[in-house]
Structure 1
Amino acid sequence: MSFWKRAVAVAALVALSWGAALPGRAAGNLAGQTPIEVVVELGAPGRHAFFPDKLRFETGRLYKLVLRNASDAPHYFTSHSFSQMIYTRKVQVVQRQGERLVTLAEFKGAIREIEVYPGQTAEWWFVPVATGRVTDLRCGIVGTDGKTHADHGMVGEIVIE
């Protein structure tokens, strides 16, 4: 290997090893923590909105984002920007059976949109790995009036510190 190729390879390895320690980036065993639970209600009877519509997370912490849909319409929790700033550990579809929640399905990998049907719940387990402000949180379901739920106010903001 030539001197320059070797120098570039060493520089790349150094950059990768330092990358986790750069400001705005998380490091360590990020998925093995006890999760911080954050609940977001997707809509309410007759209302298209996220409750709350402003979310705040911290890099390097494991979160379980519980998405509950108590409304009579399906809703999306969609944000391409948010999905680029987190590591998704898993998404679970859960259902209450008696006194306990039962996991019906689990998904892994890159997730940017979750649809939750009326009366159902999904859990998004993730670790934020980059800081920033997200303004593209929305519900893109189109209603009978031809407008999206976002057009009716179902939008939100996410800040990752």
Structure 2
Amino acid sequence: MQDPGRRGIAGLIAAMAVAGTAWAAGDLSRQAPIEVVVDLGTAETPLAFSPATLRFETGKLYKLVLRNRSTEPHYFTSDNFAASVWTRKVQLTQRSADGREAVLAEIKGGIREIEVYPGHSAEWWLVPVQAGRFTDLRCGIRMADGKTHAEHGMRGEIVIE
């Protein structure tokens, strides 16, 4: 007859092995990203983020696509958001004449601010790791009048739940 203590230990080891497999399912390198597209200005509203409020959930992989559809360069800056996410990479992309998207560069490491030139886009692959509501999303490009795009209304809000 088997010792009840050994059965308990064997059961615990089996449960840990099953749990280990479950943990691997959360592997972010295999998680499909959730795409969020933000326009940094358009022809109609050149000094605005669209949408102006962004929502994310902690622990999920996002591909934040920053498109500049205006005629001026724009920054996507939020110090609080940058401090609350883990950056997997930033990709600079360009659409070819036949409509295919090509990756021109990949940047890794901490990101605080991204500048996107007119007609181009960047992809910020990130995982939010800290919840919060951040009202410091802004564009700091300075105009001829000495005011920033943010002072002309190019501000936004980011919510991480």
Using structure 2 for the length normalisation, give the TM-score: 0.81
* 2:27 maps to which of 12, 24, 29: 29
Distance 1:145 1:80 in 2: 25
User: What does 1:72-83 correspond to in 2, within 5 Å?
Assistant: 72-83=71-82
Match of 2:143 in 1: 143
| Alignment of 1:95 onto 2:94 | yes
Distance 2:148 2:29 in 1: 35
Match of 1:114 in 2: 114
What does the per-residue CA deviation read over 1:17-50, in whole Å, with 9 as the maximum and x for residues that have no partner? xxxxxxxxxxx53343100000000012252000
Distance 2:155 2:68 in 1: 15
Match of 1:49 in 2: 48
**In the alignment, is the contact (CA less than 8 A) between 2:34 and 2:62 conserved in 1?**
yes
Select the structure of larger CA radius of gyration: 2
Q: List runs of 5+ in structure 2 lacking aligned partners.
A: 1-25
CA RMSD of aligned residues (A): 1.0
For the residue of structure 2 that corresponds to 1:48, the secondary structure is: coil
Using structure 1 for the length normalisation, give the TM-score: 0.81
Match of 1:157 in 2: 157
Q: List runs of 5+ in structure 1 lacking aligned partners.
A: 1-27
Match of 2:3 in 1: none
Query: Which structure shows the higher strand fraction?
Result: 1
Identical-pair percentage = 66
For the residue of structure 2 that corresponds to 1:151, the secondary structure is: helix
**In the alignment, is the contact (CA less than 8 A) between 2:75 and 2:115 conserved in 1?**
yes
Distance 2:87 2:57 in 1: 14
Count of residue pairs brought into register by the alignment: 134
